[in-house]
Amino acid sequence: MTKGWPQWEVFVRSEAGLAHKHVGSLHAADARMALENARDLYTRRNEGVSIWVVNSEDVHATDPSEGEAFFEPSEDKRYRFPTSYRVPEGVEHL
């Protein structure tokens, strides 16, 4: 039966102000059922205040074989990392 149901990706916001975070996936016939199943599968222990579900088909991912082109060029560009800044003493919330 599950074979006929699309897969959904589940995102849960753990508390107000934080971003929704991907927590896993599930099967459901439609978005309403996906939200209900997500509630039962991923928020059993008070994990969330908001749930998003996205049809897995609508998630487009990078191709692992293109990892070099996508990600490696940033490794040798140290000037993009804030490592050279000195943080003045006494600054707490940086």
Partner 1 sequence: MRARLEYVLRFGDSALVLAQRLCALVAHAPVMEEDVALANVSLDLFGQARLWLAYAGELEGAARDEDTLAFHRDAGAFRNVLLVERPNGDFAETTARGYFYDLWASLAFAELVRSKDERIAAVAEKSRKENAYHLRRSEDWVVRLGDGTEESHARMQRAVNELWRYTGELFLADDVDTAMASGGIGFAPAALREPWLERVKTTFGAAALELPVDPWMQRGGKQGVHTEALGYLLAEMQILPRTIAGAVW
For 58: left if phi > 0, alpha if psi spans -120 to 50, otherwise beta; the answer is alpha
Among residues 28, 26, 1, 29, which one has the least CA distance to residue 12? 26
Q: 24 or 67, CB closer to partner 1?
A: 24
Query: Minimal distance in Å, beta carbon 37 to partner 1?
Result: 4
Query: Minimal distance in Å, beta carbon 34 to partner 1?
Result: 9
Give, in order, the Cα–Cα distances in Å from 19 to each of 14, 78, 92: 8, 28, 23
Q: How many residues does the chain have?
A: 94
Give the residues lining the site for partner 1 (CB under 8 A).
1-2, 5, 26-29, 32-33, 36-37, 39-41, 44
Query: Minimal distance in Å, beta carbon 13 to partner 1?
Result: 19
Q: 45 or 60, CB closer to partner 1?
A: 45
